[in-house]
Structure 1
Amino acid sequence: MERLLAELALMQGLLVAFVLSGLIGWERESRNLSAGLRTHILVGVSAALFIVLGDNLVTNFAKQDDQVRFDMIGILGAVVSGVSFLGAGTIFSSQRGEGAKGLTTAASLLAVAAVGMTCGLHLYVLATGATLLYLVTLGPLGLLMDAKKSSEPTKRE
Protein backbone atom coordinates (compact mmCIF):
# COMPACT_ATOMS: atom_id res chain seq x y z
CA MET A 1 0.00 0.00 0.00
CA GLU A 2 2.88 2.33 0.82
CA ARG A 3 4.37 1.78 -2.66
CA LEU A 4 1.03 2.59 -4.30
CA LEU A 5 0.74 5.83 -2.34
CA ALA A 6 4.30 6.78 -3.27
CA GLU A 7 3.58 6.23 -6.96
CA LEU A 8 0.35 8.21 -6.72
CA ALA A 9 2.32 11.08 -5.20
CA LEU A 10 4.66 10.94 -8.19
CA MET A 11 1.64 11.26 -10.47
CA GLN A 12 1.12 14.82 -9.18
CA GLY A 13 3.87 16.12 -11.42
CA LEU A 14 2.45 14.36 -14.45
CA LEU A 15 -1.05 15.67 -13.76
CA VAL A 16 0.14 19.26 -13.38
CA ALA A 17 2.20 18.86 -16.58
CA PHE A 18 -0.95 17.56 -18.29
CA VAL A 19 -2.94 20.65 -17.31
CA LEU A 20 -0.23 23.24 -18.03
CA SER A 21 0.87 21.66 -21.30
CA GLY A 22 -2.79 21.36 -22.24
CA LEU A 23 -3.28 25.10 -21.77
CA ILE A 24 -0.48 25.84 -24.21
CA GLY A 25 -1.71 23.14 -26.58
CA TRP A 26 -5.23 24.54 -26.42
CA GLU A 27 -3.95 27.98 -27.43
CA ARG A 28 -2.23 26.42 -30.46
CA GLU A 29 -5.25 24.23 -31.26
CA SER A 30 -7.67 27.16 -31.09
CA ARG A 31 -5.63 28.90 -33.79
CA ASN A 32 -5.66 25.76 -35.99
CA LEU A 33 -1.90 25.38 -35.88
CA SER A 34 -0.10 22.15 -36.70
CA ALA A 35 0.84 20.91 -33.22
CA GLY A 36 -2.17 21.24 -30.96
CA LEU A 37 -3.64 20.03 -27.72
CA ARG A 38 -2.72 16.34 -27.85
CA THR A 39 0.82 16.89 -29.13
CA HIS A 40 1.62 19.46 -26.46
CA ILE A 41 0.17 17.30 -23.70
CA LEU A 42 2.14 14.27 -24.88
CA VAL A 43 5.40 16.23 -24.95
CA GLY A 44 4.82 17.90 -21.57
CA VAL A 45 3.73 14.76 -19.72
CA SER A 46 6.51 12.69 -21.32
CA ALA A 47 9.12 15.22 -20.21
CA ALA A 48 7.71 15.11 -16.68
CA LEU A 49 7.77 11.32 -16.71
CA PHE A 50 11.42 11.20 -17.82
CA ILE A 51 12.35 13.47 -14.92
CA VAL A 52 10.31 11.47 -12.41
CA LEU A 53 11.88 8.24 -13.66
CA GLY A 54 15.37 9.72 -13.48
CA ASP A 55 14.78 11.01 -9.99
CA ASN A 56 13.53 7.58 -8.91
CA LEU A 57 16.59 5.89 -10.37
CA VAL A 58 18.82 8.21 -8.38
CA THR A 59 16.79 7.81 -5.19
CA ASN A 60 16.34 4.04 -5.37
CA PHE A 61 19.61 2.79 -6.81
CA ALA A 62 22.40 5.30 -6.18
CA LYS A 63 22.78 4.20 -2.55
CA GLN A 64 22.95 0.51 -3.45
CA ASP A 65 26.14 0.58 -5.48
CA ASP A 66 28.93 3.15 -5.62
CA GLN A 67 29.72 2.03 -9.18
CA VAL A 68 26.32 3.15 -10.47
CA ARG A 69 26.27 6.78 -11.54
CA PHE A 70 23.27 8.89 -12.36
CA ASP A 71 23.26 12.23 -14.10
CA MET A 72 20.07 14.28 -13.84
CA ILE A 73 21.62 16.96 -16.05
CA GLY A 74 22.10 14.27 -18.69
CA ILE A 75 18.42 13.38 -18.45
CA LEU A 76 17.45 17.03 -18.87
CA GLY A 77 19.75 17.25 -21.88
CA ALA A 78 18.32 14.09 -23.42
CA VAL A 79 14.77 15.42 -23.11
CA VAL A 80 15.78 18.74 -24.69
CA SER A 81 17.58 16.93 -27.52
CA GLY A 82 14.64 14.64 -28.20
CA VAL A 83 12.09 17.44 -28.20
CA SER A 84 14.36 19.60 -30.35
CA PHE A 85 14.50 16.80 -32.90
CA LEU A 86 10.71 16.62 -32.83
CA GLY A 87 10.48 20.39 -33.16
CA ALA A 88 12.86 20.40 -36.12
CA GLY A 89 10.32 18.27 -37.96
CA THR A 90 7.75 21.06 -37.64
CA ILE A 91 9.99 23.65 -39.32
CA PHE A 92 10.07 24.04 -43.07
CA SER A 93 11.22 26.75 -45.47
CA SER A 94 8.95 28.43 -47.95
CA GLN A 95 10.12 28.28 -51.53
CA ARG A 96 8.44 31.63 -52.19
CA GLY A 97 10.95 33.48 -50.05
CA GLU A 98 8.60 33.91 -47.10
CA GLY A 99 11.12 32.48 -44.67
CA ALA A 100 10.86 29.57 -42.27
CA LYS A 101 7.48 28.34 -41.05
CA GLY A 102 6.84 26.40 -37.86
CA LEU A 103 9.43 28.07 -35.65
CA THR A 104 6.86 29.09 -33.06
CA THR A 105 5.39 25.59 -33.06
CA ALA A 106 8.85 24.10 -32.48
CA ALA A 107 9.48 26.63 -29.71
CA SER A 108 6.13 25.86 -28.07
CA LEU A 109 7.00 22.14 -28.03
CA LEU A 110 10.29 22.95 -26.35
CA ALA A 111 8.41 25.21 -23.92
CA VAL A 112 5.99 22.47 -22.85
CA ALA A 113 8.92 20.10 -22.42
CA ALA A 114 10.49 22.63 -20.07
CA VAL A 115 7.18 22.96 -18.21
CA GLY A 116 6.91 19.17 -18.03
CA MET A 117 10.45 18.80 -16.67
CA THR A 118 9.72 21.50 -14.09
CA CYS A 119 6.57 19.64 -13.04
CA GLY A 120 8.56 16.40 -12.85
CA LEU A 121 10.78 18.15 -10.32
CA HIS A 122 7.61 19.23 -8.43
CA LEU A 123 8.32 22.95 -8.93
CA TYR A 124 4.68 23.80 -9.61
CA VAL A 125 4.78 27.56 -8.98
CA LEU A 126 7.71 27.94 -11.38
CA ALA A 127 5.98 25.75 -13.99
CA THR A 128 2.75 27.75 -13.68
CA GLY A 129 4.59 31.07 -13.97
CA ALA A 130 6.47 29.88 -17.05
CA THR A 131 3.21 28.65 -18.59
CA LEU A 132 1.60 32.05 -18.05
CA LEU A 133 4.57 33.75 -19.70
CA TYR A 134 4.36 31.35 -22.64
CA LEU A 135 0.63 31.95 -23.00
CA VAL A 136 1.14 35.73 -23.06
CA THR A 137 3.85 35.27 -25.67
CA LEU A 138 1.71 33.03 -27.86
CA GLY A 139 -1.59 34.86 -27.31
CA PRO A 140 -1.52 38.67 -26.97
CA LEU A 141 2.00 39.09 -28.34
CA GLY A 142 1.14 36.78 -31.24
CA LEU A 143 -1.92 38.86 -32.05
CA LEU A 144 0.18 42.04 -31.99
CA MET A 145 2.67 40.49 -34.39
CA ASP A 146 -0.12 39.31 -36.70
CA ALA A 147 -1.60 42.82 -36.72
CA LYS A 148 1.80 44.30 -37.49
CA LYS A 149 2.35 41.90 -40.39
CA SER A 150 -1.06 42.61 -41.90
CA SER A 151 -0.46 46.37 -41.81
CA GLU A 152 2.93 46.17 -43.58
CA PRO A 153 3.00 46.69 -47.34
CA THR A 154 3.58 43.48 -49.29
CA LYS A 155 6.93 42.98 -50.97
CA ARG A 156 7.07 42.61 -54.73
CA GLU A 157 9.40 40.07 -56.26
Structure 2
Amino acid sequence: MVEGLGLDVSMLVRLAVAFVLGLPVGWERDHRALSPGLRTFPLVATGACAFLLIGQHAFPGEARAQGYVFQAVLSGIGFIGGGVIVKGKGEIQGIATAVSIWITAAVGAAIAYRLYWLGVVLSLTTVATLQLLRPFRHHP
Protein backbone atom coordinates (compact mmCIF):
# COMPACT_ATOMS: atom_id res chain seq x y z
CA MET A 1 0.00 0.00 0.00
CA VAL A 2 1.41 3.38 -1.00
CA GLU A 3 0.83 5.58 2.04
CA GLY A 4 -1.32 8.65 1.54
CA LEU A 5 -2.76 7.46 -1.76
CA GLY A 6 -4.56 4.34 -0.61
CA LEU A 7 -2.90 2.62 -3.55
CA ASP A 8 -2.18 -1.09 -3.34
CA VAL A 9 0.44 -1.83 -6.00
CA SER A 10 -0.25 -5.59 -5.85
CA MET A 11 -3.84 -4.88 -6.91
CA LEU A 12 -2.65 -2.84 -9.88
CA VAL A 13 -0.28 -5.65 -10.87
CA ARG A 14 -3.09 -8.21 -10.69
CA LEU A 15 -5.37 -6.01 -12.80
CA ALA A 16 -2.62 -5.61 -15.39
CA VAL A 17 -1.91 -9.36 -15.46
CA ALA A 18 -5.64 -10.11 -15.86
CA PHE A 19 -5.79 -7.64 -18.76
CA VAL A 20 -2.74 -9.18 -20.46
CA LEU A 21 -4.07 -12.73 -20.05
CA GLY A 22 -7.41 -11.72 -21.58
CA LEU A 23 -5.69 -10.39 -24.70
CA PRO A 24 -4.85 -13.73 -26.38
CA VAL A 25 -8.48 -14.89 -26.26
CA GLY A 26 -9.66 -11.55 -27.60
CA TRP A 27 -7.04 -11.64 -30.32
CA GLU A 28 -8.16 -15.13 -31.38
CA ARG A 29 -11.80 -14.05 -31.67
CA ASP A 30 -10.86 -10.79 -33.40
CA HIS A 31 -8.46 -12.59 -35.77
CA ARG A 32 -11.38 -14.73 -36.95
CA ALA A 33 -13.52 -11.60 -37.36
CA LEU A 34 -15.85 -12.81 -34.61
CA SER A 35 -17.55 -10.48 -32.22
CA PRO A 36 -16.93 -9.82 -29.39
CA GLY A 37 -13.24 -9.44 -30.00
CA LEU A 38 -10.02 -7.87 -28.93
CA ARG A 39 -11.42 -5.20 -26.63
CA THR A 40 -14.03 -7.30 -24.84
CA PHE A 41 -12.00 -10.21 -23.48
CA PRO A 42 -9.30 -8.22 -21.64
CA LEU A 43 -12.07 -6.08 -20.18
CA VAL A 44 -13.94 -9.18 -18.97
CA ALA A 45 -10.79 -10.53 -17.30
CA THR A 46 -9.96 -7.15 -15.76
CA GLY A 47 -13.53 -6.55 -14.61
CA ALA A 48 -13.83 -9.95 -12.95
CA CYS A 49 -10.48 -9.40 -11.26
CA ALA A 50 -11.49 -5.90 -10.13
CA PHE A 51 -14.80 -6.97 -8.58
CA LEU A 52 -13.12 -9.78 -6.68
CA LEU A 53 -10.34 -7.47 -5.50
CA ILE A 54 -12.99 -5.03 -4.29
CA GLY A 55 -14.70 -7.88 -2.46
CA GLN A 56 -11.44 -8.88 -0.81
CA HIS A 57 -10.80 -5.30 0.23
CA ALA A 58 -14.35 -4.58 1.38
CA PHE A 59 -14.77 -7.86 3.26
CA PRO A 60 -11.34 -8.94 4.51
CA GLY A 61 -11.48 -12.31 6.21
CA GLU A 62 -15.18 -12.72 5.44
CA ALA A 63 -15.28 -15.72 3.10
CA ARG A 64 -19.08 -15.76 2.93
CA ALA A 65 -19.32 -12.11 1.82
CA GLN A 66 -16.54 -12.62 -0.71
CA GLY A 67 -18.42 -15.68 -1.96
CA TYR A 68 -21.47 -13.51 -2.61
CA VAL A 69 -19.34 -11.14 -4.67
CA PHE A 70 -17.97 -14.12 -6.59
CA GLN A 71 -21.51 -15.38 -7.28
CA ALA A 72 -22.56 -11.94 -8.51
CA VAL A 73 -19.62 -11.82 -10.91
CA LEU A 74 -20.53 -15.26 -12.27
CA SER A 75 -24.16 -14.24 -12.75
CA GLY A 76 -23.16 -11.08 -14.58
CA ILE A 77 -20.78 -12.95 -16.84
CA GLY A 78 -23.49 -15.51 -17.59
CA PHE A 79 -25.76 -12.68 -18.67
CA ILE A 80 -23.08 -11.23 -20.95
CA GLY A 81 -22.28 -14.68 -22.39
CA GLY A 82 -25.95 -15.35 -23.03
CA GLY A 83 -26.08 -12.18 -25.09
CA VAL A 84 -23.65 -13.53 -27.69
CA ILE A 85 -25.56 -16.76 -28.31
CA VAL A 86 -27.96 -16.45 -31.23
CA LYS A 87 -30.30 -18.89 -32.90
CA GLY A 88 -31.00 -18.54 -36.55
CA LYS A 89 -31.16 -20.49 -39.79
CA GLY A 90 -31.77 -23.72 -37.87
CA GLU A 91 -28.58 -23.51 -35.84
CA ILE A 92 -27.23 -21.99 -32.67
CA GLN A 93 -24.14 -19.82 -32.92
CA GLY A 94 -21.87 -18.16 -30.39
CA ILE A 95 -21.59 -20.89 -27.78
CA ALA A 96 -17.79 -21.10 -28.05
CA THR A 97 -17.59 -17.32 -27.72
CA ALA A 98 -19.92 -17.35 -24.70
CA VAL A 99 -17.83 -20.04 -23.02
CA SER A 100 -14.69 -18.07 -23.86
CA ILE A 101 -16.16 -15.05 -22.06
CA TRP A 102 -16.97 -17.26 -19.08
CA ILE A 103 -13.45 -18.72 -18.96
CA THR A 104 -11.88 -15.29 -19.41
CA ALA A 105 -13.77 -14.16 -16.30
CA ALA A 106 -12.26 -17.19 -14.54
CA VAL A 107 -8.84 -15.94 -15.68
CA GLY A 108 -9.52 -12.63 -13.96
CA ALA A 109 -10.80 -14.42 -10.85
CA ALA A 110 -7.70 -16.62 -10.70
CA ILE A 111 -5.47 -13.57 -10.88
CA ALA A 112 -7.49 -11.76 -8.20
CA TYR A 113 -6.72 -14.68 -5.89
CA ARG A 114 -3.05 -14.77 -6.93
CA LEU A 115 -3.44 -18.07 -8.80
CA TYR A 116 -1.27 -16.81 -11.64
CA TRP A 117 -0.43 -20.28 -12.96
CA LEU A 118 -4.16 -21.05 -13.27
CA GLY A 119 -4.84 -17.80 -15.13
CA VAL A 120 -2.05 -18.55 -17.60
CA VAL A 121 -3.23 -22.13 -18.14
CA LEU A 122 -6.84 -21.04 -18.66
CA SER A 123 -5.85 -18.33 -21.13
CA LEU A 124 -3.55 -20.59 -23.14
CA THR A 125 -5.85 -23.62 -23.19
CA THR A 126 -8.77 -21.46 -24.28
CA VAL A 127 -6.82 -20.05 -27.22
CA ALA A 128 -5.41 -23.49 -28.07
CA THR A 129 -8.88 -25.05 -28.00
CA LEU A 130 -10.37 -22.34 -30.20
CA GLN A 131 -7.48 -22.57 -32.67
CA LEU A 132 -6.55 -26.23 -32.74
CA LEU A 133 -9.98 -27.85 -32.50
CA ARG A 134 -11.63 -25.58 -35.06
CA PRO A 135 -11.08 -28.05 -37.95
CA PHE A 136 -12.94 -30.75 -36.00
CA ARG A 137 -16.17 -28.78 -35.61
CA HIS A 138 -19.29 -30.56 -36.81
CA HIS A 139 -21.02 -28.82 -39.69
CA PRO A 140 -24.37 -30.30 -40.82
Normalized against structure 2, the TM-score is what? Answer: 0.89
* Aligned-partner SS, 2:35: coil
SS at match of 1:40: helix
**Equivalent-residue separation in structure 2 for 1:56 and 1:37 (angstroms):** 29
Structure 1 residues 37-52: aligned runs within 5 Å: 37-52=38-53
Paired residue secondary structure (1:33) = coil
8 Å contact 1:57–1:70 — kept in the other structure? no
- What's the CA shift string for 1:105-137, capped at 9, x where partnerless? 111111110101111111101110111111111
Candidates 110, 113, 135, aligned match of 2:127: 135
Cα distance in 1 for residues equivalent to 2:31 and 2:74: 26
Q: Mind listing any 5+ residue stretches in structure 2 that lack a counterpart?
A: none
Take 1:103 and 1:16, find their aligned partners in 2: how far apart are those partners? 26
Q: Distance in 1 between matches of 2:129 and 2:117?
A: 18
Deviation at 1:143, TM superposition (A): 3.3
Q: Percent identity over the alignment?
A: 35
* 2:95 is the alignment partner of 1:103: yes
RMSD of aligned Cα (Å) = 2.0
Q: Please give the alpha-carbon distance, in whole angstroms, between the structure 2 residues aligned to 1:9 and 1:37.
A: 25
Distance in 1 (alpha carbons) for counterparts of 2:6 and 2:71? 30
Distance 1:23 1:5, change over 3 A: farther
In the alignment, the residues of structure 2 paired with residue 35 and residue 143 of structure 1 have an alpha-carbon distance, to the nearest angstrom, of: 21
* Structure 1 segment 69-80 matched on structure 2, within 5 A: 71-80=65-74
- Distance, in Å, in 2 between the alignment partners of 1:13 and 1:143 is 35
SS class of match (1:100):
strand
- 2:116 is aligned, of 104, 120, 124, to 124
Match of 1:31 in 2: 32
Query: Could you tell me whether the CA contact under 8 Å between 1:25 and 1:37 is conserved in 2?
Result: yes
1:82 and 2:60 are equivalent in the alignment: no
Given residue 15 of structure 2, which amino acid in structure 1 is its aligned partner? L
Which amino acid in 2 is paired with 1:34?
Answer: S
Structure 1 unaligned blocks of 5 or more: 63-68
Structure 2 Cα separation of the partners of residues 11 and 47 of structure 1? 14
Q: Provide runs of 4+ in structure 1 moved above 2 Å.
A: 1-6
